[in-house]
Amino acid sequence: MVKQIKLSEPFIEKAEIDAVNKVLMSGRLVQGPLVKELEKDFSLLCGIKYAIATNNGTSALHTALHSLGIGKGDEVITTPFTFVATANAILMVGAKPIFVDIDEETFNIDSELIGRKITKDTKAILAVDLFGQPADYKKINQIAKKYGLFVVEDAAQSIGATYFNKKTGNLADIGTFSLYATKNITSGEGGMITTNNKNYYEKSKLFRSHGQDENDRYSYLGLGYNYRMTDIAAAIALQQLKKIDFLTRKRKQIAGIYNSELKDIKGLITPKVKTGIESVYHQYAIRITPEFKLTREKFRDYLHEKGIETYIYYPKGLYSFDHLRFGNEKENFPVTERITKEVLSIPVNPKLKNEDVYYIINVIKNL
Ligand SMILES: *Cc1c(COP(=O)(O)O)cnc(C)c1O
């Protein structure tokens, strides 16, 4: 039988199952003590003052943008090479996503190109730490300061990563995380907002729960949604947080093996991490360029035949979709266009055994 190696798998053990059982028996299922505890642990992890739990990463982004006062008529600069939630959250507050092409080495927004997309309507830069690598925040924060813009960090894929010794979630005015099933740690569905600003913190808490006044619950201080996290999810996430160092170490170790074993294959480019940055390798995305033996699609079929699951994150730039186009023509995104045709994510999840990693390497080398 051929091996079956999955691209990503949640790392769930007995501790998570026991924690869920305990919550179910406790009688307190939503936004209770475990959600509070999770928020506290998250703020410690990020080295930040405030953390606000939500029911998913998309609602965290929506809430974060709302708390900054971004809305109708505003423009938010972001990357087209990300999961669609990043750009959809901009639409959710009534603002317009303005895309900027990416850097071919990091796959993150190219900070050198941001300046030319700033207009009088620009209110924020929403950067994404793609595949676990923080974006170029020194430059991004510098531009934001010069033009009076907010910076939002979509850290859905980068929990635990560092940028010049600072943790993700603490690199911008406000940060957001996702605890979705495929992320580095999970609660099934879940999200988190992080900030040092008390005002954004208070606004986010209200927006999360129908604008309900904490001290007078049936007094509504503005529009809000039901974005509350359950204690069931928080119980899982708390257990996951306990092993985040182990899980991250495993990912880095696997990535390190790939980096040295795959580096001299013609037409295959391994991912690069910039100086001062520690990536948490949410994905290990190699590039299959025209010099490689097979096309990316043929290579992918070959790996699947050998039982190695791969995925293309992401097959299209977000400007390709009607509801996000806003006059952005694909000719303006040559790097994203090329990268979407080259990338291929290979398994880097902590459930892989060393023998799986070397099996994958040998399958690639034996081609
Ligand atoms: C997963 C993800 C989100 C959305 O998170 P959900 O929890 O799935 O809503 C947002 N941005 C990026 C970059 C993501 O990878």
* pLDDT confidence of residue 2: 74
Average pLDDT on 354-361 reads 98
Quick one: tokens of 12? Answer: 């769930």
Q: Rounded to whole angstroms, how far apart are CA atoms 344 and 264?
A: 17
pTM of the model: 0.98
pLDDT higher than 70, residue 1: no
Confidence of residue 132 (pLDDT cuts 50, 70, 90): very high
> What is the number of H-type helices and E-type strands within the chain?
11, 15
CB 325 within 8 A of CB 96: no
For residue 164, the CA-to-ligand 1 centroid distance in Å is 24
Quick one: tokens of 39? Answer: 């928020």
Average pLDDT, the chain: 97
Average pLDDT on 175-201 reads 98
Longest dimension (CA), the chain: 67
pLDDT above 90 covers a percentage of the chain that reads: 97
List, for residues 27-72, the tens digit of each pLDDT value. Answer: 999 999 999 999 999 999 999 999 999 999 999 999 999 999 999 9
Which residues form ligand 1's pocket by a CB distance below 6 Å? Answer: 56-58, 82-83, 85-86, 128, 154, 156-157, 178, 180, 191
Quick one: tokens of 227? Answer: 């974005």
Q: Which ranges in 225-345 belong to alpha helices (H)?
A: 231-242, 244-261, 296-305, 334-342
For residue 141, the CA-to-ligand 1 centroid distance in Å is 22
- Give residue 188's region: left, alpha or beta (phi > 0; psi -120 to 50): left
327: phi then psi, degrees, rounded to nearest 5: 75, 0
Instruction: Count Cβ atoms below 10 Å from residue 340 Cβ, excluding itself.
Output: 20
- Cis? peptide before 163, omega within 30° of 0: no
Question: Bridge partners of 343?
Answer: 287
List, for residues 307-344, the tens digit of each pLDDT value. Answer: 999 999 999 999 999 999 987 888 899 999 999 999 99
For residue 189, the CA-to-ligand 1 centroid distance in Å is 10
Average pLDDT on 97-104 reads 97
Which residue's CA is the nearest one to ligand 1's atom 14?
A: 156
Helix, strand, coil percentages (3-state) for the chain, rounded to 5, are: 40, 20, 40
For residue 363, the CA-to-ligand 1 centroid distance in Å is 31
Most informative mutation of 55, 83, 84 for ligand 1 (most atoms within 8 A of CB):
83
